[in-house]
Structure 1
Amino acid sequence: MASPRPTPVEPLPHLANTELRQAQARALPPELGPNAIALVNGATFMYSDQTGDVPTTTIGGLVHADTRLLNRWELTLNGARLMTLRSTVLEYYLGQFILTHPAMPGIPADSLSIRRLRHIGDAMHERVEIESFLGDPVRCELRLAVGTDFADLFEIKSAVTDRSSWIRRDHELDGSGLCFRYEREGFHAESRLRVDPPADRIEGDELVWDLTLACRRPWTLDAELLLPRSVHAAPSVRADIDDVFHNRVEHPARNWLAGGPSLHSDNTTLNRVAMRSRWDLTALRLEFDGDGKRLALPAAGMPWFLALFGRDTLLTAFQTIAGNPRLAKGALLALAQSQGRTCDDFTDEEPGRILHEVRHGELTRRGAMPYRPYYGAADATQLWLILLSEYWRWTMDDDFVRALRDNITAALHWIDHYGDRDGDGYVEYATRSPEGLGNQCWRDSSDGIRFADGRMPVLPIATCEVQGYTYDAKRRIADLADGPLGDPELAARLRAQAHDLYERFNRDFWIDGRGGYYAVGLDGDKHRIDSLTSNLGHLLWSGIVTPDRAGQVARQLTSPAMFSGWGIRTMSHDDVPFNPIGYHLGTVWPHDNALAVLGLVRYGFRDEANRVTLALLDAAAEFDFRLPEALSGFDRQRTRVAVPYPTACSPQAWAAAVPVTLVRAMLGLDAVDGRLVVDPEVPAEVGRLHVSRILALGRRWDIEATGTTGSVRPSPD
């Protein structure tokens, strides 16, 4: 007997408090300056200014598992701040700050060199080296000021709760370290710092060394703050920081990279973008115990989104599966473990639903925030099914699919009985939570879904791409039902449901005006939300577009109103809400474009796909060969340079995965019935493409293509 459909709820307005929090989480910290340095490892990041300092008035600091363990970290010499000669992120987990100093009594300017090395692993380890180049010994005072507020991640960019009365200090009498402890209503956090050599004295929360520096006799300080193990940790190395700096130890990141494929082409930009992508995806991976081993999955973005997400993690894993399926397996299992089991209005949890976001900070643990996890995504459940299908196609791992049978059943049940809130055959969203998301699609800002004339739609909303994902998911799971699941009755039922959705969607969402296009959604009154958006590309990717309309959709996506020259805009230039720096109202999102590229290839529009691909590669070159989360939608002919979106995450996982998708599209690479096939159309600007050591179907493969000619062969090793 089918479970009853959930009781309809009054649609909540788009929630200003939630969107404000999201905007704050995406904002860059002006207090740290444009050259701020961020180091990351798993769920840990350290954000400082270019001297390596974190003043208390900034949003910088050491954050681990959504709790700030350090909000002050300042090094001074004779009371003076140091000056930067050069600061560099050497690896995503390793930074170097080369500093000097102003003139001081008895010490001319620039006569001492100061170097800070910082490594994020299972501890935050910093080495400070000071060397004098004066002929006579010089006396000076080095001071390290340390502080913590144990702020929740969501507070860091807004109002931080004053926890000082709950913070206990247990500083070492011998000067060897400081310890801060915080415990309140069951939440506990600790920052324990060890230093070698011990400080000569401790003044409040400041460690002080009285130094006498002989000429060219370096003095060294090692400081280490151990990190508690988190749910989703990253592999790290326990070694002397100098050995890490000189690559004298085997770092897990390099082992991970060695296990992936490599790309070479005649296009230097593509080569550099692909290499940057590999490092960024390595930096953003989280690890957890599952399936009897350590598994990895991608976090959403750096620095504020180092957590398990639904949509972001799934789309990143999908995009990278053509290179290596390891991230996909980890994402599938981690999300299956947290699949919804009950109805919870505060977290928007429903049975079978795949989560949107997980957090571990105090506000979540004490119930003020719903991220324990939060389930407010209308598309993550379908994307989980799509990724499972894709993983099976690239691995033919029947046992893995069968082990997730119950999760598949629950996900399908959610789509039909909870996702479809009013029984009209479409998946809609409307949050029940006072802290929930107003928009639960990928355009999740408060104004991400608008009518062409600027009006805001009423909830619940059924967006077009969510229906496309639902169609694709049911067709794909029908194939699994015919295959490893051994359930032909389920296969027939899903194909019939998908066909019915296909027919109804193409009747209800299509708009004949403006050259023909699909509405971005249906609002709560079943009115077509008639803005022209990049979601059309998602529809091509899903296959829900009828063949006779595919040409119209492709022309819309590459029209001057939609295509900026750097990529496809999220909204047409001709719509009233258009804004080239509006978060979802005219910006260019690389991952959004990558899905459109896959969709264009699916329907045979290879020239259009390559046009978008080359534009994205040009854009990456404008951003030091790293595609950001989003870039502004200004016309390329007008500005001649790509304009950054002011608060984009960088690196951001689904943007970092885009180069893999673009290469797959150019190669026409796919896994079909246990075989790797290519149907290349490589543009002349790229020339020869060679991808080696792709992991698929239980072994490694090499692929080479030029123009429309390509080959697949087993790797020699």
Structure 2
Amino acid sequence: MPQPVQPLLHQLVTLCAAPSQVLFAADGSMMIEVDGRGTAHGLMHADVRVLSGWQLAISGRRPAHLATALTGEGQAQFSYLAPELPGSTIDRFLRVDVTRELSPGLLAETLLLTSEIGEPVDVEVRIELTSDLTPMELIRIGRHREALAFEEAKSGTVTFGDGTVTARIRAPNADISRLPDPTRLTLSWQVTVPAGELIELGWLVSVTDSGAAVGPARGSGLAVEAIVGEFSGSGGAGESDARLEPWLRQSLHDLNGLRMSTAQAPDDAFFAAGSPWYFTLFGRDSLWTSRFLLPVDVAQAGGTLRALGRLAGTTSEVATAQDPGKIMHELRRGTFTFNEISLPPLYYGTIDATPLWICLLHDAWQAGLPESEVIELLPVLEGALHWLVNHGDADSDGFLEYIDATGHGLANQGWKDSGDSIRFADGQIAEGPVALCEVQGYAYEAAVGGAALLDAFDRPGAAVYRDWAATLAERFRAAFWCGIGDERYPALALDGAKRQVDSVTSNVGHLLGTGLLDAEEEDLVARRVTAPDLDSGLGLRTMSSSAGGYNPLSYHCGTVWPHDTAIVIDGLLRTGRADLADGLAEGMLRAALAFDWRLPELWSGEGRPVPYPAACRPQAWSAASAVVVARWAQAHTHQQ
């Protein structure tokens, strides 16, 4: 069997209306393979591909694609010029505009035909569809199932599925045929388009999935225009930056498209991590996204906290990496397999989600989360704090660290979770247990913030966690700092032998604003993360360009991740160093323009907008980073 090859995403257009998503080529078409390589094209619902192919033909020929645009939340439009028809010329032609609109469990298309030809024109409009019901884990390695054979239409509807996933296609006034090939469903309309007039056609497919782990969210999403209005007039020079508004608007629309719930708790909305690979609940991603959004919508944090709190660990279990009080990493329908990794449906292999959950609860409380909602979550808080000091330290050295005990889980369990991401300055890969620098900052902030919540709501134990945090800070200061004098910086991590993993990385910037550092240390870190070897001009590199392991297109060792940059910008704002954030924020604005206002999961660290070819787009925390940059712009405006 050939080696699995992950599909490329960087040239695809994506619409999201969680738990549904549809990905397609720039001309609107969908194919399971392009040039012999598997694609991620298709309509997916939850984690199953419902439609794998879509082709448009006008009178037997593919029309010429003219333009594609995202035209609204969950909506795109394609414009085509029909092939040669009787009476047509270069400026007298038949035009076809297709509007593709996605909502949860429903894809609808409207086709508008307008003619500039001087006389009525008879045409056949044909859409050919295929389905393979391939699960996401196979799509991700470039494979697919056999094409499904469609049933005959009954009462104008074609129903197909596997007993768990059920889809229904309807096409009013169309001839629906599965002949001569039952794996290809053809919708065709014979129409006459009068000169200068418009003909409208349409079809739709609806989907249900009784076995999905996730479903559509209830309640209100982000108020896009109101939030954009809050930041209008914000700019680094005291006036509106023309790049901020379209980026912020697109990002907020994308976040609404990623908003979903678990099947068991539809009222507790959260943001799926990203499309297409991470279209589910991820603890770390959902927490950071909600934290970025706190200044504009605290209610979203409440749903995220409750969704994760319901799944907090209750026992110690090696197979799932679960411990009492621990916040989960990811939720799937079934076992997820990708290359050498095999994860259970509910997996807890994350070292940072638990302290980040505590930090979000504290910050949401401070931002105005209703007291009744905070009180409801206090038992989860107490369990998470207990995990922090009793389970998070794998070898009792006083630091939070991780190691995969199964041999098939995630080798790295911080946000840089690829197998080669934790490297020494010479490029050597560290062996575990690994204690990441930023996780110690999260843990310190969580202990102090958790203690404040316990005091505020008359719960016992606050002094224990404050003392624990103070001891952690002392240990960190003694163990993590590398270098001499003004060149000092925190190590990326400590490895299993307690050696400093001494590469210079973006991780150290996450310490800003956590309280773990003193003022002098914050200055050292702030200047280090904004130096040219980390600031690419298009955001913060994950690893210094002078490091032995640096590669500008390595997933975690030199690329730029916008959420990573946003965390550092936020830390600089929180510590009163907004001026040092200018270069990073300007880089994000340049990137937003370069990537058509929809930032991908990551891109190259070389300083040009070279895409990482398998990056999710949209990605929740990438989209939410626009709010952080908007706050930076607003801070500059107020300084004028």
TM-score class, shorter-chain normalisation, is: 0.7 to 0.9
CA–CA distance in structure 1, aligned partners of residues 285 and 455 of structure 2: 29
Residue 587 of structure 1 is matched in structure 2 by 559
Residue 247 of structure 2 is matched in structure 1 by 273
Residue 533 of structure 1 is matched in structure 2 by 505
CA contact (8 A) 2:177 2:186 kept: yes
Instruction: State whether structure 2 residue 224 is matched by structure 1 residue 224.
Output: no
Instruction: State whether structure 2 residue 198 is matched by structure 1 residue 209.
Output: no
Q: 1:535 to 1:208 in 2, by over 3 A?
A: closer
Residue 675 of structure 1 is matched in structure 2 by none
Residue 656 of structure 1 is matched in structure 2 by 623
CA–CA distance in structure 2, aligned partners of residues 363 and 658 of structure 1: 28
CA contact (8 A) 1:84 1:99 kept: yes
Compute the RMSD of aligned alpha carbons.
3.1
Local SS of the residue matching 2:292: helix
Residue 442 of structure 1 is matched in structure 2 by 415
CA contact (8 A) 2:22 2:41 kept: yes
Local SS of the residue matching 1:116: strand
CA contact (8 A) 1:296 1:326 kept: no
Residue 691 of structure 1 is matched in structure 2 by none
C-alpha displacement of 1:130:
3.5
Residue 50 of structure 2 is matched in structure 1 by 69
CA–CA distance in structure 2, aligned partners of residues 643 and 614 of structure 1: 17
- One of 477, 482, 500 as aligned partner of 2:450: 477
C-alpha displacement of 1:258:
4.3
C-alpha displacement of 1:634:
2.2
Residue 256 of structure 2 is matched in structure 1 by 282
TM-score (normalizing by structure 2):
0.88
Q: 1:498 to 1:298 in 2, by over 3 A?
A: same
CA–CA distance in structure 2, aligned partners of residues 590 and 363 of structure 1: 27
C-alpha displacement of 1:53:
2.0
CA–CA distance in structure 2, aligned partners of residues 469 and 363 of structure 1: 28
Local SS of the residue matching 2:346: coil
CA–CA distance in structure 2, aligned partners of residues 285 and 542 of structure 1: 28
Q: Which amino acid is 2:143 matched to?
A: V
Q: CA offsets per residue over residues 400-434 of structure 1, 9 Å max, x none?
A: 22211221122122223332111112111122345
CA–CA distance in structure 2, aligned partners of residues 66 and 322 of structure 1: 32
Q: Which amino acid is 1:226 matched to?
A: S
Q: 1:464 to 1:153 in 2, by over 3 A?
A: same
Instruction: State whether structure 2 residue 34 is matched by structure 1 residue 52.
Output: no
Q: Describe how 1:40-439 pairs up with structure 2 within 5 A.
A: 40-57=16-33, 58-103=39-84, 111-122=93-104, 123-134=106-117, 138-160=121-143, 162=145, 169-172=150-153, 176-183=156-163, 188-199=164-175, 201-203=177-179, 204=182, 205-207=184-186, 209=188, 211-216=190-195, 218-228=198-208, 232-234=214-216, 257-258=225-226, 262-265=230-233, 266-268=239-241, 269-287=243-261, 294-360=267-333, 370=343, 372-395=345-368, 397-439=370-412
CA–CA distance in structure 1, aligned partners of residues 248 and 191 of structure 2: 49
Q: 1:386 to 1:172 in 2, by over 3 A?
A: same
- One of 431, 434, 437 as aligned partner of 1:461: 434
CA contact (8 A) 1:144 1:208 kept: yes
CA–CA distance in structure 1, aligned partners of residues 298 and 187 of structure 2: 51
C-alpha displacement of 1:440:
0.7
CA contact (8 A) 1:376 1:440 kept: yes
Is the deviation greater in 92-101 or in 260-269? 260-269
Q: 1:76 to 1:530 in 2, by over 3 A?
A: same
CA contact (8 A) 1:168 1:182 kept: no
Local SS of the residue matching 1:585: coil
Q: CA offsets per residue over residues 355-374 of structure 1, 9 Å max, x none?
A: 1122236868xxx9535222
CA–CA distance in structure 2, aligned partners of residues 362 and 442 of structure 1: 21
C-alpha displacement of 1:115:
2.4
CA–CA distance in structure 1, aligned partners of residues 415 and 336 of structure 2: 25
CA–CA distance in structure 2, aligned partners of residues 50 and 628 of structure 1: 16
CA contact (8 A) 1:153 1:361 kept: no
Q: Which amino acid is 1:590 matched to?
A: P
C-alpha displacement of 1:663:
4.1
Instruction: State whether structure 2 residue 458 is matched by structure 1 residue 493.
Output: no
- One of 481, 492, 510 as aligned partner of 1:520: 492
Q: Which amino acid is 1:359 matched to?
A: R
Q: Which amino acid is 1:149 matched to?
A: D
Is the deviation greater in 651-660 or in 571-580? 651-660
Local SS of the residue matching 1:608: helix
Local SS of the residue matching 1:657: helix
CA–CA distance in structure 1, aligned partners of residues 127 and 593 of structure 2: 39
Q: Which amino acid is 2:248 matched to?
A: A
Q: CA offsets per residue over residues 254-279 of structure 1, 9 Å max, x none?
A: 86654786212213233443333333
Q: How many residues of Structure 1 are paired with residues of Structure 2 in the alignment? A: 616
Local SS of the residue matching 1:541: coil
Q: 1:363 to 1:222 in 2, by over 3 A?
A: farther
TM-score (normalizing by structure 1):
0.79
CA contact (8 A) 1:257 1:282 kept: no
C-alpha displacement of 1:99:
1.4
Local SS of the residue matching 1:419: coil
Provide the identity percentage: 33
CA contact (8 A) 1:152 1:363 kept: no
CA–CA distance in structure 2, aligned partners of residues 410 and 534 of structure 1: 30
Q: CA offsets per residue over residues 630-656 of structure 1, 9 Å max, x none?
A: 332225xxxxx5444444333322122
Q: 1:289 to 1:72 in 2, by over 3 A?
A: closer
C-alpha displacement of 1:439:
1.0
C-alpha displacement of 1:340:
1.8
Q: 1:663 to 1:56 in 2, by over 3 A?
A: closer
C-alpha displacement of 1:107:
7.8
C-alpha displacement of 1:379:
0.2
Local SS of the residue matching 1:228: strand
- One of 498, 503, 526 as aligned partner of 2:474: 503
Q: Which amino acid is 1:586 matched to?
A: G
CA contact (8 A) 1:143 1:206 kept: no
Q: 1:505 to 1:643 in 2, by over 3 A?
A: same
Instruction: State whether structure 2 residue 538 is matched by structure 1 residue 562.
Output: no
Q: Which amino acid is 1:577 matched to?
A: G
CA–CA distance in structure 2, aligned partners of residues 384 and 253 of structure 1: 21
Q: CA offsets per residue over residues 375-407 of structure 1, 9 Å max, x none?
A: 211100110000000011111633322211221
Q: CA offsets per residue over residues 8-38 of structure 1, 9 Å max, x none?
A: xxxxxxxxx9xx99x937x426xxxx3x332
CA–CA distance in structure 2, aligned partners of residues 254 and 576 of structure 1: 43
Q: 1:261 to 1:495 in 2, by over 3 A?
A: farther
CA–CA distance in structure 2, aligned partners of residues 562 and 223 of structure 1: 50
C-alpha displacement of 1:442:
0.8
Residue 676 of structure 1 is matched in structure 2 by none
CA contact (8 A) 1:459 1:523 kept: yes
Q: 1:361 to 1:152 in 2, by over 3 A?
A: farther
CA–CA distance in structure 1, aligned partners of residues 336 and 281 of structure 2: 17
Is the deviation greater in 60-69 or in 644-653? 644-653
Local SS of the residue matching 1:155: helix
CA–CA distance in structure 1, aligned partners of residues 409 and 291 of structure 2: 26
Local SS of the residue matching 2:301: helix
Residue 699 of structure 1 is matched in structure 2 by none
